[in-house]
Structure 1
């Protein structure tokens, strides 16, 4: 039995205007199975949010080119019409954006907005049915049912983000994308929400993509990780393996720049240099200008090498090309 929820093959996203093109996502490829929680991690500007927006087809069509395959439950998202996409958005494929609480209307109660959202896909639902469903979700994110009758301004930022997460789950989607959904929150609230997300995952048999630049979020709430740099996937694998034994120099650099709560104190090391200009095409490894282990062969573009046990790396240090 195939339990694949999402599979990307040679997935590309390019922003276009009359002056230039920006190659935001290049040849992305990975698979998410039912029950997986994939952490998509990398510096700001790596293409993580672009990838999420492209999957949902929320990028402006006139200024965006999308190619490759994004197979979601047996259907290619890149080939769907807007009518077909509307049927699955927020129902089978849902997303929580960073500061998504800003999308809530300040002049309507939470419950009124919940009803409007639910009726899009369930027009015959009663108000009691919606209340019961959302009350259950509020409990999962550690909120009281009284929130249903409050206005957004009566809630704190952390509470509003919890409401947004509950809203994204109201139709019990097959895949939930959380795009920096806890970044704007204080560390205590962030930890609480991550615990609640993991709890929901167990109770609702949820499959999730967690987009973040914070390795600790991946370590505590995901079972797989994909490391992204300048629009390219650099390393993929199970979290325990990648964090314990990182292979790609970029992954090692990310981990070295993050303090450890265990073991001896060590000096933090940043990754020197800056992200490349994504409006240019590069012949070799795009990370080479910042890599301490760069070699002559890095002038040639590396392929994504499959190492087994769902581990993969894009680096000449591990075999170069396929």
Structure 2
């Protein structure tokens, strides 16, 4: 049994124009000790997915269908109290907006100690204090600053404090939403290495939500690529970054510099994702895709399996035989963008 099994998950937001399908029929598994990276453009549903798992969707958000099974129990059917018991002890979250996640009227120490003593009632104050000290040292913060308030910390320090809180109870699952935001590259490296060490010790798993593909490449075993609320592609990190089968993943990969190919031109994916209140039929990436045909615009693609990847593209099976050079060419994408501007195909 997998640690986490998400099956056909739908998460919608109520709007004046109708429900926005932020997460639409998303399925994946996460094994014990495994790290899964979730990448994609802003608004593709990455953070919504994490909030649905830990149960902190805003008032307008709701699970419309599907299931989220954690250690065999469906989180979507649990009461609020049952979900709260899991937080920090079993599932913790490193939020992107650290200032909004910390209570401004309590010191950092008080907030971490409260989480420890709430979920581990037998823990004494001395032991809780020792854990705070250990966690502060772990993330590169002076333990003497633990009695400061959030506003006395810089953005990077608040982010590290959130990481310390998330790791304090050694949870089975860590949801890391842009975990290294506001950290310099040296501290990023130290934090990521230390998180990996802790994971090895307690066999915990992590969902890493980020725009930084280098973080995913360094820390993750598999990658899930999302686009407009849908899964575009999922598979081992090496295959995703070296030989993807979905045109969106190919474009996303080519949009970042390659230190091994310094003369390689960067690729730009022109246009914008579709509106999720009334998404188009067919493939949601069709209007920006250089390989799109009328079939793509009217028929939703099914999963295709190649080299350990699950790719939702009608032409995934043809990528290696004839279409990869086309999808890998910046000129192709520029021509697609020009056709969009003139209303052509």
TM > 0.5 fold call: yes
Deviations 1:78-121 (A, max 9, x none): 11111211111221111111132443344433222222222221
Cα drift, residue 190 of structure 1? 2.9
Q: Decide which moves more: 273-282 or 21-30.
A: 273-282
Using the alignment, how far apart are the partners of 1:45 and 1:18 within structure 2?
18
Partner secondary structure for residue 316 of structure 1: coil
- 1:95 and 2:108 correspond: no
Cα drift, residue 260 of structure 1? 1.3
* RMSD (Å) for aligned C-alpha atoms: 2.0
The residue aligned with 1:237 is 235
Stretches of structure 1 lacking an aligned partner (at least 5 in a row): none
Distance 1:296 1:102, change over 3 A: closer
Q: Is the 8 A contact 1:5 1:73 kept in 2?
A: yes
2:3 to 2, 5, 16: 5
Stretches of structure 2 lacking an aligned partner (at least 5 in a row): 319-345
The residue aligned with 1:197 is 195
The residue aligned with 1:227 is 225
The residue aligned with 1:257 is 255
Q: Which 4+ stretches in 1 moved above 6 angstroms? A: none
Q: Is the 8 A contact 1:99 1:184 kept in 2?
A: no
Cα drift, residue 189 of structure 1? 3.3
The residue aligned with 2:276 is 278
Distance 1:25 1:307, change over 3 A: same
Partner secondary structure for residue 113 of structure 1: helix
Deviations 1:173-198 (A, max 9, x none): 11000111223334443333223322
- 1:54 and 2:57 correspond: no
Cα drift, residue 62 of structure 1? 5.6
The residue aligned with 2:340 is none
Q: Decide which moves more: 135-144 or 236-245.
A: 135-144
Alignment of 1:33-52 (within 5 A): 33-52=31-50
Partner secondary structure for residue 3 of structure 2: strand
Q: Is the 8 A contact 2:104 2:149 kept in 1?
A: yes
- 1:302 and 2:301 correspond: yes
1:72 to 70, 73, 95: 70
Partner secondary structure for residue 27 of structure 1: strand
Aligned length in residues = 317
The residue aligned with 2:266 is 268
Partner secondary structure for residue 232 of structure 2: strand
Deviations 1:171-228 (A, max 9, x none): 2211000111223334443333223322332233220000012211111111110000
Q: Is the 8 A contact 2:136 2:142 kept in 1?
A: yes
Using the alignment, how far apart are the partners of 2:208 and 2:167 within structure 1?
15
Q: TM-score, normalised on structure 2?
A: 0.86
Distance 1:185 1:139, change over 3 A: closer
Using the alignment, how far apart are the partners of 2:73 and 2:12 within structure 1?
22
Q: Decide which moves more: 17-26 or 246-255.
A: 17-26
Q: Decide which moves more: 144-153 or 90-99.
A: 144-153
